[in-house]
Amino acid sequence: MKRTYLCVGLDTDPEKIPAHLRSAQDPIFEFNKQIIDATHEWCVAYKPNIAFYEAMGPKGWESLQRTLEYIPEDHFTIADAKRGDIGNTSTMYAKAFFEQMDFDAITVAPYMGADSVTPFLAFKDKVVILLAHTSNPGSADFQLFRSAEGHTLYEEVIRKSQSWGNTENLMFVVGATRADKIAEIRKLAPDHFFLVPGVGAQGGDLRDVSQQGMTRDCGLLVNSARAIIYASADKDFARAARHEAQRTSEEMSQYLSEFAGW
């Protein structure tokens, strides 16, 4: 088994890809392809943020589809889409990402409750990654809203949703900007995998996150996007991405020894 829990975020912005790729027929796919070639050995998952593709209209969806098909089969694929709507409509979103495209997992926003989340969970061998405590400043606005009994909204999301899914088909998004929080959240969901964004460009510390959040099964998938895919803005971008992915994974290998006993 690979000694890494790195997820590479394919948040590919047409304005940030190296100039020499812009004349390619599908510059976004060409960039992603080279990033995947360079990094797949050093990661276990890829996570395109759908907003970047959607902003390009129908051709963005074609780039996304091509990218998804190019990702090696042994890598876990996450549509970072943050969808969620009433029952029959969530089923349509699930079809978009699980059938029209063949992602393994999708991020889902919990605000609309059980019947907005469970339609995604009804798809066999697919995974819902529910927003719990995100890494952005605005996460404090509502996620930390506190009940009369003293627990926060994000705790309520984690508590309640565990009756909708299981440790196989339900993960949580837990931001890395506050590692102390991750230890608390781990107590609420001891066996669920966490997707942790915010290590790297957003400032979370990988060692802290790993120490606080890791289980004996690892239990973590740590995403890094900008720090890897934009490690260089020049022709050597793929080599720079590989270097950064390798460096991060070697660090992860240490933490797997140290905190999970692997």
What positions carry a catalytic annotation?
A: 82
* DSSP alpha helix (H) spans, 45-112: 50-54, 58-70, 87-95
* Separation CA 161–CA 52 (nearest Å): 28
- 221-240 mask for a second copy (x: CB under 8 A)? --------------------
Q: Say whether residue 16 binds a second copy (CB under 8 A).
A: no
* Separation CA 111–CA 97 (nearest Å): 20
Residues of this chain, 128-147, that bind a second copy according to CB under 8 A:
131, 134-143, 145-147
Which of 54, 168, 191, 258 touches a second copy by CB under 8 A?
54
**Nearest C-alpha neighbor of 223 from the set 11, 2, 3, 1:** 11
173 exposure class (CB count in 10 Å sphere: 0-12, 13-18, 19+): buried
CB of 52 to a second copy, least distance (A): 6
Q: Say whether residue 90 binds a second copy (CB under 8 A).
A: yes
Which of 1, 19, 57, 187 touches a second copy by CB under 8 A?
57
**Is the Cβ–Cβ distance between 88 and 112 less than 8 Å?**
no
Residue 56, CA distances (Å) to 15, 16, 34, 50, 53 in order? 12, 14, 20, 10, 6
Q: Say whether residue 159 binds a second copy (CB under 8 A).
A: no
Q: Say whether residue 148 binds a second copy (CB under 8 A).
A: yes
CB of 253 to a second copy, least distance (A): 29
- Judged by the rule CB under 8 A, the positions of this chain that interact with a second copy are 11, 13, 49, 51-52, 54-59, 61-62, 65, 80, 82-87, 89-90, 92-93, 95-96, 99-101, 109-117, 131, 134-143, 145-148, 150, 153, 156-157, 160
